[in-house]
Amino acid sequence: MSDRLSKSLLIIEDSDEDFAAFDRMMQRSSLQNPVFRCSDGDESLDFLYHRQNLLPQLPSIIILDLNLPGTDGREVLQEIKQDQHLKQIPVVVFTTSSNPQDIEVCYRYGVNGYIIKPMDTERLMKLIQIIIDYWFNAVIFPEPES
Protein backbone atom coordinates (compact mmCIF):
# COMPACT_ATOMS: atom_id res chain seq x y z
CA MET A 1 0.00 0.00 0.00
CA SER A 2 1.36 3.42 -0.85
CA ASP A 3 2.42 5.75 1.95
CA ARG A 4 0.05 8.34 0.52
CA LEU A 5 -3.01 6.16 1.03
CA SER A 6 -1.74 4.83 4.34
CA LYS A 7 -1.87 8.37 5.78
CA SER A 8 -5.40 9.40 4.96
CA LEU A 9 -7.41 11.86 7.01
CA LEU A 10 -11.07 11.61 7.97
CA ILE A 11 -12.68 14.89 8.99
CA ILE A 12 -16.01 14.54 10.77
CA GLU A 13 -17.33 18.08 10.55
CA ASP A 14 -20.74 19.53 9.78
CA SER A 15 -19.44 23.06 9.13
CA ASP A 16 -18.65 23.64 5.45
CA GLU A 17 -16.43 26.58 6.41
CA ASP A 18 -14.32 24.59 8.87
CA PHE A 19 -13.95 21.71 6.43
CA ALA A 20 -12.95 24.14 3.66
CA ALA A 21 -10.28 25.62 5.97
CA PHE A 22 -8.78 22.16 6.53
CA ASP A 23 -8.92 21.37 2.85
CA ARG A 24 -7.20 24.66 1.93
CA MET A 25 -4.42 24.07 4.44
CA MET A 26 -3.86 20.51 3.20
CA GLN A 27 -3.52 21.87 -0.34
CA ARG A 28 -1.16 24.67 0.79
CA SER A 29 0.98 22.09 2.58
CA SER A 30 1.45 20.27 -0.72
CA LEU A 31 0.34 17.06 0.95
CA GLN A 32 -1.31 14.64 -1.42
CA ASN A 33 -2.87 12.52 1.31
CA PRO A 34 -6.52 11.65 0.77
CA VAL A 35 -8.98 13.69 2.82
CA PHE A 36 -12.42 12.23 3.45
CA ARG A 37 -15.32 14.06 5.04
CA CYS A 38 -18.39 12.96 6.92
CA SER A 39 -20.81 15.67 7.98
CA ASP A 40 -22.59 13.86 10.80
CA GLY A 41 -21.98 11.10 13.32
CA ASP A 42 -24.12 8.47 11.64
CA GLU A 43 -22.38 8.97 8.30
CA SER A 44 -18.98 8.71 10.00
CA LEU A 45 -19.82 5.39 11.65
CA ASP A 46 -21.13 4.03 8.34
CA PHE A 47 -17.88 5.18 6.74
CA LEU A 48 -15.64 3.63 9.40
CA TYR A 49 -17.51 0.33 9.37
CA HIS A 50 -17.28 0.24 5.56
CA ARG A 51 -21.06 0.26 5.23
CA GLN A 52 -20.61 2.55 2.22
CA ASN A 53 -17.53 0.75 0.86
CA LEU A 54 -15.82 4.09 0.25
CA LEU A 55 -12.45 3.40 1.84
CA PRO A 56 -10.27 0.34 1.22
CA GLN A 57 -8.69 0.74 4.66
CA LEU A 58 -9.11 2.78 7.82
CA PRO A 59 -7.93 6.40 7.98
CA SER A 60 -4.68 7.18 9.77
CA ILE A 61 -6.22 10.00 11.80
CA ILE A 62 -9.66 11.39 12.54
CA ILE A 63 -10.46 15.04 13.19
CA LEU A 64 -13.76 15.09 15.08
CA ASP A 65 -16.18 17.89 15.83
CA LEU A 66 -18.29 17.25 18.93
CA ASN A 67 -21.45 19.11 18.00
CA LEU A 68 -22.80 17.07 15.10
CA PRO A 69 -26.33 16.46 13.92
CA GLY A 70 -27.72 13.02 14.78
CA THR A 71 -25.15 10.92 16.61
CA ASP A 72 -22.92 13.54 18.22
CA GLY A 73 -19.13 13.53 18.37
CA ARG A 74 -19.01 12.28 21.96
CA GLU A 75 -20.92 9.16 20.95
CA VAL A 76 -18.76 8.71 17.83
CA LEU A 77 -15.59 8.98 19.92
CA GLN A 78 -16.89 6.46 22.45
CA GLU A 79 -17.80 4.03 19.67
CA ILE A 80 -14.41 4.38 17.98
CA LYS A 81 -12.40 3.90 21.16
CA GLN A 82 -14.44 0.86 22.27
CA ASP A 83 -14.11 -0.94 18.94
CA GLN A 84 -11.19 -3.38 18.66
CA HIS A 85 -10.52 -2.46 15.00
CA LEU A 86 -10.94 1.30 15.31
CA LYS A 87 -9.46 2.20 18.69
CA GLN A 88 -5.87 2.47 17.40
CA ILE A 89 -6.82 5.37 15.10
CA PRO A 90 -5.74 8.68 16.65
CA VAL A 91 -8.69 11.02 17.17
CA VAL A 92 -8.26 14.75 17.62
CA VAL A 93 -11.33 16.64 18.78
CA PHE A 94 -11.58 20.00 17.03
CA THR A 95 -14.59 21.81 18.46
CA THR A 96 -15.99 25.09 19.71
CA SER A 97 -16.81 23.52 23.09
CA SER A 98 -14.64 24.71 25.96
CA ASN A 99 -16.88 22.92 28.45
CA PRO A 100 -14.63 21.20 31.04
CA GLN A 101 -17.04 18.24 31.12
CA ASP A 102 -16.60 17.70 27.37
CA ILE A 103 -12.82 17.84 27.73
CA GLU A 104 -12.86 15.37 30.63
CA VAL A 105 -15.23 12.95 28.87
CA CYS A 106 -13.21 13.00 25.66
CA TYR A 107 -9.95 12.21 27.44
CA ARG A 108 -11.70 9.51 29.47
CA TYR A 109 -12.83 7.92 26.19
CA GLY A 110 -9.25 8.02 24.88
CA VAL A 111 -9.03 11.08 22.63
CA ASN A 112 -5.49 11.86 21.45
CA GLY A 113 -5.93 15.63 21.57
CA TYR A 114 -8.57 18.26 22.27
CA ILE A 115 -8.38 21.57 20.43
CA ILE A 116 -10.83 24.44 20.77
CA LYS A 117 -11.58 26.18 17.48
CA PRO A 118 -10.72 29.85 17.66
CA MET A 119 -13.12 32.42 16.26
CA ASP A 120 -10.25 34.30 14.64
CA THR A 121 -9.63 33.04 11.09
CA GLU A 122 -5.88 33.63 11.21
CA ARG A 123 -5.54 31.66 14.46
CA LEU A 124 -7.78 28.91 13.03
CA MET A 125 -5.51 28.53 10.01
CA LYS A 126 -2.40 28.42 12.24
CA LEU A 127 -3.91 25.68 14.40
CA ILE A 128 -4.87 23.64 11.35
CA GLN A 129 -1.31 23.99 10.04
CA ILE A 130 0.03 22.77 13.41
CA ILE A 131 -2.27 19.74 13.26
CA ILE A 132 -1.13 18.95 9.71
CA ASP A 133 2.56 19.41 10.52
CA TYR A 134 2.38 17.24 13.62
CA TRP A 135 0.23 14.39 12.32
CA PHE A 136 1.54 14.22 8.75
CA ASN A 137 5.16 15.36 9.07
CA ALA A 138 6.25 14.29 12.55
CA VAL A 139 4.21 11.27 13.67
CA ILE A 140 5.02 7.71 12.60
CA PHE A 141 1.93 5.54 12.06
CA PRO A 142 1.74 1.77 12.35
CA GLU A 143 1.10 -0.24 9.21
CA PRO A 144 -2.57 0.11 8.29
CA GLU A 145 -4.94 -2.81 8.74
CA SER A 146 -6.94 -3.95 5.77
Q: Is 57:146 a contact under the CB 8 Å cutoff? A: yes
Q: What percent of the chain has pLDDT over 70?
A: 89
Average pLDDT score, the chain: 86
Q: In this predicted model, which residue has the larger pLDDT, 81 or 141?
A: 81
Nearest Cα to Cα of residue 76 among 140, 20, 11: 11
pLDDT tens, position by position, 38-59: 999 999 998 898 765 555 678 8
Q: Is 132:31 a contact under the CB 8 Å cutoff? A: yes
Q: Is it the case that residue 34 has pLDDT exceeding 70?
A: yes
Q: What is the pTM of this model?
A: 0.88
Torsion of CA 64, 110, 121, 127, to 10 degrees: -120
Domain range list for the chain: 3-138
Beta strands in 1-146 (DSSP E): 9-12, 35-38, 61-64, 91-95, 113-116
Q: In this predicted model, which residue has the larger pLDDT, 27 or 88?
A: 88
What average pLDDT does range 51-69 have in this prediction?
Answer: 80
Per DSSP, 118 falls in state P
Q: Is it the case that residue 8 has pLDDT exceeding 90?
A: no
CATH 2.40.30.10 fits 3-138, yes or no: no
